[in-house]
């Protein structure tokens, strides 16, 4: 690789970060693969070791790599949950509206219906149905909230799309973290009935009905 032109206007650390990312892609590195040493990157880019160390530290803090003491830097598994968590934190402190999260959930979870219908894996749907039946035993506010969140997360798992699950699961998890309204036992029973109807529509292969039920269910969420 060509040494970095230090006359570039972009801050040197940012340039090295981009060059390391480019190296990872060009070398087709995968999760668990080891990166070159700090000294090697210093030679490759023609920059000081301290700049390379700062760039690697940034990549570690953003979960692109992990650094093992005495062993070096290794590429991480893909996981965007931390990135989205930081995004939602900034969104919240900048006057974010919880109903925006509900809108995102409606978009993503209704999209999940298409994937579930396409693959129609009965094991996943049977597990979802069993979960709904078990959730009838909840008696406290914490159990109500946990059962509701678990249903939506299991629904996303049924897509069997890892990237989609990571993105949408973070949106759903964040909503349940910041949503604190209590519901009555009667409201909870209605909620469980809505879950049951969504699953029945999926089991019957009726994607449009499942979408309609799901979107109405999300829109009626107490916030």
Sign of CA dihedral 137, 180, 168, 75: negative
Which token pair is 60? Answer: 């570690």
Q: Which residue has the tokens 């009935």?
A: 193
Kindly state whether residues 130 and 154 are assigned to the same domain: yes
What percent of the chain has pLDDT above 70? 91
Instruction: Let me know: does 74 contact 65? Beta carbons within 8 Å.
Output: yes
pLDDT digits (tens, 9 = 90+) for 1-14: 656 655 454 689 99
Cβ neighbours of residue 151 under 8 Å, at least 6 residues apart? 128, 131, 132, 135, 195
Q: State the helix-helix crossing angle for 12-26 and 49-61, rounded to 10 degrees.
A: 70
For residue 101, pLDDT beyond 90:
no
Average pLDDT score, the chain: 87
In a domain, 112, yes or no: yes
Q: Which of 75, 96, 122 is the last residue of a domain?
A: 75
| Co-location of 60 and 109 in the same domain | no
Per the domain annotation, does 152 fall within a domain?
Answer: yes
User: Based on the domain organization, do 62 and 109 belong to the same domain?
Assistant: no
Q: 90 and 55: one domain?
A: no
pLDDT digits (tens, 9 = 90+) for 111-136: 899 889 988 888 889 999 999 999 99
Whether 53 and 157 share a structural domain? no
Pair 94, 70 in one domain:
no
For the domain that residue 68 is a member of, what is the CATH number?
Answer: 1.10.10.10
Q: Structurally, how many domains does the chain consist of?
A: 2
Last residue of a domain, one of 27, 52, 75: 75
Q: Using the Cα atoms of residue 102, residue 106, residue 107 and residue 112 in order, give the sign of their dihedral.
A: positive
> Three-state DSSP class for 67?
strand
pTM value is 0.66
Evaluate if residue 176 carries a pLDDT over 60.
yes
Across 46-50, 167-171, 182-186, least confident range: 167-171
pLDDT band for position 102 (50/70/90)? Answer: confident
Residues 106 and 62 grouped into a single domain: no
Tell me, yes or no, whether 150 lies in a domain: yes
Which of 53, 75, 97 lies at the terminal end of a domain, its last residue? 75
């Amino acid at each position: 690789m060509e040494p970095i032109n230090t006359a570039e206007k972009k801050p040197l650390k940012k340039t090295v970060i981009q060059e390391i990312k480019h190296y990872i892609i060009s070398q087709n590195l995968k999760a668990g693969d080891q990166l070159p040493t700090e000294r090697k990157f210093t030679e490759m880019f023609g920059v000081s070791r301290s700049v390379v160390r700062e760039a690697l530290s940034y990549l570690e803090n953003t979960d692109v790599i992990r650094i093992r003491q005495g062993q070096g830097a290794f590429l991480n598994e893909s996981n965007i949950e931390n990135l989205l968590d930081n995004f939602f934190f900034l969104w919240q402190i900048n006057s974010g509206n919880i109903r925006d999260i509900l809108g995102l959930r409606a978009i993503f979870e209704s999209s999940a219906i298409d994937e579930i219908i396409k693959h129609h894996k009965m094991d996943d749907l049977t597990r979802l149905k069993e979960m709904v039946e078990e959730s009838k035993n909840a008696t406290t506010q914490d159990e109500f909230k946990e059962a509701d969140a678990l249903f939506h997360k299991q629904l996303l798992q049924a897509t069997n799309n890892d990237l989609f699950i990571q993105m949408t699961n973070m949106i759903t998890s964040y909503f349940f973290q910041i949503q604190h309204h209590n519901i009555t036992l009667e409201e909870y029973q209605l909620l469980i009935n809505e879950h049951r109807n969504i699953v029945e529509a999926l089991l019957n292969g009726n994607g449009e009905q499942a979408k309609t039920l799901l979107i109405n269910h999300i829109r009626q969420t107490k916030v």
